[in-house]
Chain A
Amino acid sequence: MDLRGNDARDKRRRRQRTRLLRLGVAWAIVAMWCAGCSSGDGETPTNREAVPVLTESRFGTSGGFVDVDGDGIEDLVIGAPEASGSPKKGAILAYLGTADGISTTAAWEIMGEESGDNFGFSFANLGDVDGDGSADFAAGALYAAGATPFSGNVTVYQGGDSAPAVLGRLNGTQPHGRFGYAVAGGDLNADGYSDVIVSALHASGDAFQSGIVYVYLGGSDLSSTPSAVIKGDHPNHGLGFSLETGDINGDGTADLFVGAHDAVFIYYGGTDFIDRLGADTTPDVTIYGTSETGGRHSGSGFGDSIAFIGDVNNDGVGDVAIANPNRTWPDVYDNIGSVYLFAGSADLPPSFYESDPNHRLAKITGDAAGDRFGSALAVIKDVNDGGLPDLLVSAPWASGGPSDSMPVAGKVYLFHTEAVMAGSADNLDVADAAGVYTMETPFGEFGKVLGACSDGNFFTSAPQSNQNSGMAYAYDLRAGSSTEIGNH
């Protein structure tokens, strides 16, 4: 839908032409692009389907790395939920990784099916769901017809082939339930197959619009019936706002993290995972945000983004980063945002607050009011050879450009985790970042999504840039280069 005059839009586009800045990355190491994702122009597209119209598509609303074609090099898939063939069908587009970098031309596109589906609102690299040795992936269509109109659906695709086959279609059941708001993968029942976790943010579980999280077990045949269902228990809980997996208790099996407004619920994985959840969906551990309502304040953003970071305190057990990009309740309504690192352990208590010094390793605070620091998190390979994986944190509403003159341009901060762990645990802020990335487009929301590649590179996006057309950016940190993707 073209709501604006072409002349005015073109003028605005010229004025808002995107240029990237990279600031203060003194550690950049010139290196060859090894097996893995990179930035730079790539190969000729293949397997192209009907081409979606990407103008005003919010390209970059979702995305991530996954080896879609089986060449051993991770590729970049970007979601554009408002891409049109008819309005807002949505699409996902694959940009292949090559030895020379990420191609800037899509190798293939998959379109949504119906007008208004918003296909590509969410995306996830699931890991190997079907056991064929290749990572699979999924895309959510937030408003598509599932079992009922507007209930949403998620399509799971088989990775490792130039023409991705559909492994399964998972359907929401409740109109307006927003099934597919978040999607994640992980082997929760230790059977060797990655499982698929999907949230329906506004579905009514045990209370009105409490949110529901569904777990579908991986295997040679992906069942469209969930094997476990976790229901929110009070209204507008936001259960499933974010999803993550990782081994937080050190037992060797991935655990499930479910973000809700002002709380993160952790369910321990294991061979009895499904049986345990079938009997009782009480989480094994709850981390509450600091609020007077004990993790039930809908205005708090604690848990809105979660990233399993691995063992950063050298105790042999993995740790987790959790962000609160919204208000600092109950003190002020500032939306500065904070990120917290919590220690994993085999002996975590049933619940604790984010302020508990027995569990909190560090707190990093954003820069300015309204920045929404922590809106997205990504764990990136140890790019400075400091011995620990590093952490990317976005603040998509931060001012950027020259002298931060452009509002809501957005920023991405790189933190070297060993420096974070060595610092003053509760007084870290953006000044402790090792690198800052931004763009010269106001209101672009640069940093809306973050995705890391296994070799230490990452991508981010600015879905609001170019009058909601959106852009994505792939960074090769070792080469010190970046590439724009989606210049439509």
Chain B
Amino acid sequence: MRPYQIAVCVTILVVLSFIGISTGDTPFTPRGQRWEPAPEGHIIGKDNGVLTGDSGALADHFQGEDCAICHTPGGKAGAYVFSISGTVFKDKLGIEPLVGAEVIIRDVEGKVISLTSNEAGNFFTYAPIAHDPAAGSDPDTPRNWRYKSWVKYGESVRPMVTLAYVGAMAHYIPRMSCNMHHGRMGTRGTVSAGTFDTLAAYPDQNISFAAHVMPILKNRCKACHMPAATNPFTTYGDERFDYSGGLDLSAYAKAPGSSRGITDTINLAQPAQSPLLIRSLPGSLHSGGSFWEIGDPEYETIRLWIAEGASDN
């Protein structure tokens, strides 16, 4: 572990202790679990679903599509009703699926469900998910099932920020698919993991916001840091929680209603101290997880852009 990582971890523990949040026993609320690391008890792939017979060859179909259109009781694939399913990609556009990503789910009772993405990037399981009595008394109603999830690839761990329930329309049909919102054409961007470079190459000077920085921000940040009018409020919890933190990173100028924009996250005098960079280092207090390490191409590109004046060029 590098010195800065140790320092960041120590800081995290101190801060968490100070504000009363422990990593092992948190209330199942959006605010309480913002910075929670992936849970212990994760065993790679232990809950991977299996398709039998002729269907076994189909585990790699429909990458990025909403699995639960068919995999729902009474649906076209009603014999294989998943409790959780989806696709992991290397990028937010869904250009290339990611094989071997770990999907870690912890339900409201603390049970850990461990999945891996298959050769098509797909993952699915039949493992039951505990229901939350606070959501409803019926344990068999998927709408009452609650979980939080993380996606891990290598040393990169990325939490999915929302405490989701199973089945947005569960009062009609029990269903759950991460690809409902995170498919290839999804407006939130795909479920993605790892630290694969956004661009094929990065210049070492004359960094352009439009050509170099914006694609990185779109790939890394836009799923949460969007304009105020579209803040991804949680759909569950004891409060409506704004995961964007009021920060709009969808354009150079912040949108009306957003409290902060990209220029509020940079330090022109000390580029490496810019929150835009250090908030996404491993171990930082960032709900969206880490996207780069010091010296990575994307880190360096943004640092150089700031050092060159952080203009809207």
A442 to chain B, nearest CB (A): 7
Indicate whether B127 reaches chain A with its CB closer than 8 angstroms.
Answer: no
Indicate whether B62 reaches chain A with its CB closer than 8 angstroms.
Answer: yes
Report Cα–Cα, A370/B169, bound state, in Å.
15
Indicate whether A208 reaches chain B with its CB closer than 8 angstroms.
Answer: yes
Report Cα–Cα, A399/B75, bound state, in Å.
11
The answer to whether residues A118 and B95 also contact, given A3-B119, A15-B54, A175-B215 and a CB cut-off of 8 A, is: yes
Report Cα–Cα, A305/B221, bound state, in Å.
32
Indicate whether A236 reaches chain B with its CB closer than 8 angstroms.
Answer: yes
Chain A interface, >50% SS class: loop
Indicate whether A335 reaches chain B with its CB closer than 8 angstroms.
Answer: yes
The answer to whether residues A235 and B62 also contact, given A175-B215, A370-B69, A397-B70 and a CB cut-off of 8 A, is: no
Q: Mark A398-418, 1 if CB is under 8 A from B, else 0.
A: 010000000110000000000
Indicate whether A448 reaches chain B with its CB closer than 8 angstroms.
Answer: no
Closest B residue by C-beta to A326: B69
Contact yes or no, A87 B76, CB < 8 A: no
Indicate whether A431 reaches chain B with its CB closer than 8 angstroms.
Answer: no
B5-13, B25-33, B226-234, B273-281: which lies at the interface: B226-234
Report Cα–Cα, A8/B58, bound state, in Å.
11
Indicate whether A149 reaches chain B with its CB closer than 8 angstroms.
Answer: yes
The answer to whether residues A149 and B58 also contact, given A176-B93, A208-B230, A407-B70 and a CB cut-off of 8 A, is: no
Q: Which residues of A contact B219 (CB under 8 A)?
A: 176
Chain B residues 213 to 238 lying within 8 A of chain A, measured CB to CB, are 214-215, 218-219, 222, 226-227, 229-230
Q: Which residues of B contact A114 (CB under 8 A)?
A: 200
The answer to whether residues A8 and B57 also contact, given A176-B218, A208-B250 and a CB cut-off of 8 A, is: yes
Interface size class of B (residues with CB under 8 A): 35 or more
Q: Mark A198-210, 1 if CB is under 8 A from B, else 0.
A: 0001101001110
Contact yes or no, B92 A176, CB < 8 A: yes
Q: Which residues of B contact A143 (CB under 8 A)?
A: 93, 95
Contact of A148 among B54, B69, B214 (CB under 8 A): B214
Q: Mark A3-30, 1 if CB is under 8 A from B, else 0.
A: 1100010011001000000000000000
Contact yes or no, B77 A208, CB < 8 A: no
Report Cα–Cα, A347/B214, bound state, in Å.
46
Q: Which of A115, A176, A207 has the most CB of B within 10 A?
A: A176
Indicate whether A297 reaches chain B with its CB closer than 8 angstroms.
Answer: no
Contact of B76 among A147, A175, A407 (CB under 8 A): A407
Chain A residues 354 to 373 lying within 8 A of chain B, measured CB to CB, are 369-370
Indicate whether B311 reaches chain A with its CB closer than 8 angstroms.
Answer: no
Indicate whether A443 reaches chain B with its CB closer than 8 angstroms.
Answer: yes
Contact yes or no, B74 A3, CB < 8 A: no
Q: Mark A423-463, 1 if CB is under 8 A from B, else 0.
A: 00000000000000000001100000000000000000000
A448 to chain B, nearest CB (A): 12
Rank and list the top 10 A-B pairs by shortest CB-CB distance, nearest first: A235-B230, A407-B76, A175-B215, A3-B119, A176-B218, A236-B187, A333-B169, A149-B215, A175-B218, A208-B230
Offer 26 A-B interface pairs, CB within 8 angstroms, sorted by A: A3-B60, A15-B54, A88-B96, A116-B95, A148-B215, A149-B212, A150-B93, A175-B215, A176-B92, A176-B189, A202-B187, A204-B250, A209-B187, A209-B230, A235-B229, A236-B187, A333-B173, A369-B76, A397-B69, A397-B70, A407-B76, A408-B70, A408-B76, A443-B61, A464-B61, A464-B62
By a beta-carbon cutoff of 8 Å, the part of chain A in contact with chain B is: 1, 3-4, 8, 11-12, 15, 87-88, 114-116, 118, 143, 147-150, 174-176, 201-202, 204, 207-209, 234-236, 298, 332-333, 335, 369-370, 397, 399, 407-408, 442-443, 464, 467-468
A175-B214, A176-B222, A333-B172 known; 5 new pairs, CB 8 Å cut-off, are A87-B96, A149-B212, A209-B187, A397-B69, A464-B61
